[in-house]
């Protein structure tokens, strides 16, 4: 079984023994040799078309996910990471940062912060003087005294403060997933959190076993 | 006397009876008829050159500002808005949002958030699905249930939460300035704040009267 999470910028593949990404603008020919069944979810129509052109038998599992929420316009990737969490704040840190709240198995809503890559692009775009070197070794208890720190402090706080405020309100564990999570974990040490690297793939497997392979 | 604050994107002019902005890429010929002495500060070299080409007698007052701080790389616009505030958090909301802390006349440091315009550009740049309509009528106590609210909630929180955290730490009044301030004031009702539309120009006048015209 090959799992694939198609995002805004990459195909993220997971096989039994490997885990790799391919940019959505790159060719898929180098994985043509993969013979197992591909199961995927996607938030990117164009990239889905390309996958299906190369692997016509790939199965879109989204129709089996059946996640109940009053939220309008929730991406399938957000739905699946939330699906099997009864109580928690689910933070998926990718090109955007989605934050969702689950309470007693019910989805209460969520919000969407810009991803770290987006913040990296935004500053030099405002002014050349705000070009900077990204750094996650910033003490957020000290007021910055140099522009590079001032920008990194702001990026980190812009992401961390809204998430901590949600934690203060709901007091339920945080589940981090998504590659860039590791950059931020050290700032959440006082909070009960779990880093679930494979949250999306593990949830996909559950959906597949319950609805397709288990049948 | 004509005052001019040259920023990343605009010339901001203030005369006795008018207050107007001209984009840095626009021509300055339409103000050629202004006859009074221009005093300016600038964070934009190219735009400064253009002003001086049109008004060779314009005076850069930055050399008179003499603001003491350990902060490295503090823009002259930030220096002048802080200069005459003994105790306060100075928040200047423009193309970037600068936040500076003054305590007993000493500058403790500051940080730089992206401006609202920058946030508006960043989301559709991450994904076409994140194109949205900016809205400041968002209840930050409710978890969003639709993507447009989710993005506005995130933008507002990304800006407001770090500023409120600084207020909690220093408990000193907030001075808002910069055109976009008005979009955010309603979220600070529980905090002692002042909106000082002309903070930068009033400080410039003080510098001019003490150092140039007063002599």
Cα distances from B53 to residues B3, B37, B59, in angstroms, run: 17, 15, 12
| CB contacts, 8 Å: B123 with chain A | 96, 112, 114
Q: Are strands A59-60 and A38-42 parallel, antiparallel or unpaired?
A: parallel
Map residue A160 onto helix, strand or coil.
helix
How far does the CA of residue A214 sit from the closest CA of chain B (Å)?
33
- How many whole angstroms separate alpha carbon A37 and alpha carbon A27? 19
How far does the CA of residue A57 sit from the closest CA of chain B (Å)?
27
A35 pLDDT band, cuts 50/70/90, is confident
Q: Exposed/middle/buried for B128, CB within 10 Å: 0-12, 13-18, 19+?
A: exposed
CATH 3.40.190.10 fits A72-203, yes or no: no
Predicted pLDDT at B34: 85
- How many whole angstroms separate alpha carbon A124 and alpha carbon A116? 14
Say whether pLDDT at A78 is over 90: yes
CATH of B75-203, one of 3.40.50.720, 3.30.420.40, 3.20.20.80, 3.10.105.10: 3.30.420.40
| Sign of the C-alpha dihedral computed for residues B137, B140, B144 and B147 taken in this order | positive
Say whether pLDDT at B212 is over 90: no
Say whether pLDDT at A193 is over 90: yes
- How many whole angstroms separate alpha carbon A53 and alpha carbon A42? 15
| CB contacts, 8 Å: A125 with chain B | 118, 121
Please judge whether A129 and B70 are an interchain contact, meaning their C-beta atoms are less than 8 angstroms apart.
Answer: no
- How many whole angstroms separate alpha carbon B115 and alpha carbon A198? 35
pLDDT in tens, A133-155: 999 999 999 999 999 999 999 99
Confirm or reject contact between B108 and chain A (CB < 8 A): yes
Q: Which of residues 140-159 of A touch B (CB under 8 A)?
A: 142-147, 150-151, 153-154, 157-159
Considering only CA atoms, which of A97, A7, A81, A93 is closest in space to residue A45?
A7
Say whether pLDDT at A215 is over 60: no
Average the pLDDT over B42-48 and give the result: 95
Catalytic residue list of B: 77
Q: Under CATH, which architecture does the B2-63 domain have?
A: 2-Layer Sandwich (3.30)
- Give the Cα-Cα-Cα angle B17, B115, A156 (nearest 5 degrees): 150
B214 pLDDT band, cuts 50/70/90, is low
Q: Could you tell me if B43 and B9 are in contact, meaning their C-beta atoms sit under 8 angstroms apart? A: no
Domain A2-63 matches domain A72-203 at the CATH topology level: yes
Q: Could you tell me if B71 and A153 are in contact, meaning their C-beta atoms sit under 8 angstroms apart? A: no
Q: Could you tell me if B155 and B183 are in contact, meaning their C-beta atoms sit under 8 angstroms apart? A: no
What does the mean pLDDT of chain A come to?
95
How is residue B126 written in tokens? 């991450």
| Number of Cβ within a 10 Å radius of residue A49 | 11
Predicted pLDDT at A66: 93
Q: Could you tell me if A99 and A162 are in contact, meaning their C-beta atoms sit under 8 angstroms apart? A: yes
DSSP characters over A58-86: -EEGGGGT----S-BT--HHHHHHHHT-S
* DSSP-assigned beta bridge partners for residue A149: none
| CB contacts, 8 Å: A154 with chain B | 111-114, 162
* Best residue of A48, A121, A143 to probe chain B, by most B CBs closer than 10 Å: A143
pLDDT in tens, B123-134: 999 998 999 999
Element (H, E) at B130: none
Element (H, E) at A177: strand A174-177
What is the predicted ipTM?
0.93
Say whether pLDDT at A51 is over 80: yes
What global pTM score does this model have? 0.94
Say whether pLDDT at A89 is over 70: yes
Map residue B1 onto helix, strand or coil.
coil
Widest pairwise Cα distance in chain B = 61
> What are the residue ranges spanned by the domains of chain A?
2-63, 72-203
pLDDT in tens, B145-174: 999 999 999 999 999 999 999 999 999 999
Strand order in the sheet with B88-93: B106-114, B96-103, B88-93, B174-177, B193-195
| CB contacts, 8 Å: B69 with chain A | 145
Among candidates A101, A123, A154 on the partner chain, residue whose Cβ is nearest the Cβ of B162: A154
Confirm or reject contact between B131 and chain A (CB < 8 A): no
Predicted pLDDT at B118: 97
pLDDT in tens, B86-111: 999 999 999 999 999 999 999 999 99
Q: Which residue bears the tokens 């005052």?
A: B3
């Amino acid at each position: 079984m090959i799992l694939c999470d198609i995002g805004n910028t990459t195909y993220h593949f997971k096989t039994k023994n490997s885990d790799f990404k391919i940019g959505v603008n790159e060719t898929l020919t180098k994985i043509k040799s993969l013979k197992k069944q591909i199961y995927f979810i996607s938030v990117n129509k164009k990239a889905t078309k390309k996958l299906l052109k190369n692997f016509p038998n790939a199965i879109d599992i989204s129709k089996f996910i059946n996640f109940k929420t009053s939220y309008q316009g929730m991406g399938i990737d957000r739905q699946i990471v939330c699906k099997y969490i009864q109580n928690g704040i689910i933070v998926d840190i990718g090109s955007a940062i989605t934050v969702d709240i689950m309470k007693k198995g019910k989805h209460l809503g969520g919000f969407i912060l810009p991803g770290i890559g987006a913040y990296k692009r935004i500053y030099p775009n405002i002014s050349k003087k705000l070009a900077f070197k990204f750094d996650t070794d910033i003490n957020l208890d000290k007021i910055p005294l140099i522009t590079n720190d001032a920008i990194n402090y702001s990026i980190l706080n812009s992401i961390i403060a809204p998430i901590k405020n949600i934690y203060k309100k709901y007091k339920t564990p945080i589940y981090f997933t998504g590659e860039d999570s590791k950059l931020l974990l050290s700032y959440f040490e006082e909070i009960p959190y779990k880093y679930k690297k494979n949250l999306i793939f593990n949830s996909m497997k559950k959906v597949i076993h319950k609805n397709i392979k288990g049948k």
